């Protein structure tokens, strides 16, 4: 038997997409503790856990009571989804969006490096300046840059447009936890969802959008 044939004979694993999703969500529900989490946030928490593999994150979520209703209404009404990085934007499942919503990321716009230099900040933060014309009523998903979240809050504090909801999942060791705390403590009445602490990431930010846009359609056998 060749090495290739031997390897093929060794591996036994689930190949059916519907079964993989079903068993994944069953495992999440069995292992995660959703105590204290509102029922309308359960699909979001399940998606987040599915995206990162860590069942304990449910206890580190913080939210405003209106984040689900506000985000779902905005998405249903055609609001754009504003993302801090391309990885978040590419993680949003387009064919599940309820109103063919635009998914926008301005990080790679040609003038962003110069704008960042002029503002004395990161490209991710400077890129949020391009959101001003579309920010009102939008759903914001930040999965990478704490500076983008801080700058967004500064824009709003200065009288900038108010989004319908901010999903804050910046990840890292410098400013990530602090930026999410700032969002959770925001005095502007902004609907929000955050994962407190250092954990987060683009996959989780996109997962939150997908859950709010379409719940858990994979349980019905969709890819």
Structure tokens at 132: 């001003």
Query: How far is Cα 82 from Cα 163, in angstroms, rounded to an integer?
Result: 10
3-state helix, strand, coil in the chain (%, to 5): 50, 10, 40
Q: Where are the domains of the chain?
A: 13-220
pLDDT score, position 18: 83
What percent of the chain has pLDDT above 90?
84
Q: Does 146 have pLDDT greater than 70?
A: yes
The pLDDT confidence band at residue 5, using thresholds 50, 70 and 90, is low
- CA 212 to CA 43: how far, in whole Å? 8
Mean pLDDT of 82-93: 97
Active site residue 222: no
Contact 170, 197 (CB under 8 A): no
* Fold category of 13-220 in CATH: Rossmann fold (3.40.50)
At 82, phi and psi to the nearest 5?
A: -105, 125
Catalytic residue, from 50, 90, 100, 130: name it.
50
Please list the residues that pair with 103 across neighbouring strands: 81
Q: Is the pLDDT of residue 222 over 60?
A: no
pTM score of the predicted model: 0.91
Q: What is the pLDDT of residues 171-221, one digit of tens each?
A: 999 999 999 999 999 999 999 999 999 999 999 999 999 999 998 855 444
Close Cβ partners of 153 (under 8 Å, ≥ 6 residues apart)? 179, 182, 183, 186
For the CA atoms of 46, 48, 42, 208, the dihedral, rounded to the nearest 10 degrees, stands at -130
What span, in angstroms and rounded, lies between the C-alpha atoms of 107 and 66?
A: 29
Q: Which residue has the tokens 């990162």?
A: 52
């Amino acid at each position: 038997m060749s090495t290739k044939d031997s390897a093929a004979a060794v591996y036994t694993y689930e190949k059916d997409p519907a079964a993989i999703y079903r068993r994944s969500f069953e495992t999440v529900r069995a292992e995660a503790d959703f105590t204290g989490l509102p029922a309308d946030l359960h699909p979001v928490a399940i998606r987040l856990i599915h995206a990162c593999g860590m069942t304990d994150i449910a206890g580190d979520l913080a939210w405003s009571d209106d984040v689900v209703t506000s985000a779902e209404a905005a998405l249903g009404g055609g609001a754009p989804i504003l993302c801090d990085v391309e990885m978040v934007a590419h993680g949003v499942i387009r064919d599940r969006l309820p109103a063919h919503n635009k998914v926008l990321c301005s990080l790679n716009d040609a003038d962003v490096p110069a704008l960042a230099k002029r503002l004395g900040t990161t490209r991710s933060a400077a890129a949020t300046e391009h959101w001003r014309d579309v920010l009102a009523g939008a759903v914001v998903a930040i999965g990478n840059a704490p500076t983008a979240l801080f700058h967004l809050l500064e824009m709003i504090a200065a009288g900038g447009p108010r989004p319908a909801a901010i999903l804050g999942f910046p990840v890292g060791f410098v400013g990530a936890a602090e930026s999410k705390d700032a969002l959770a403590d925001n005095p502007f009445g902004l609907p929000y969802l955050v994962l407190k602490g250092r954990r987060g990431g683009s996959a989780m930010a996109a997962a939150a959008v997908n859950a709010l846009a379409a719940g858990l359609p994979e349980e019905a056998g969709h890819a």
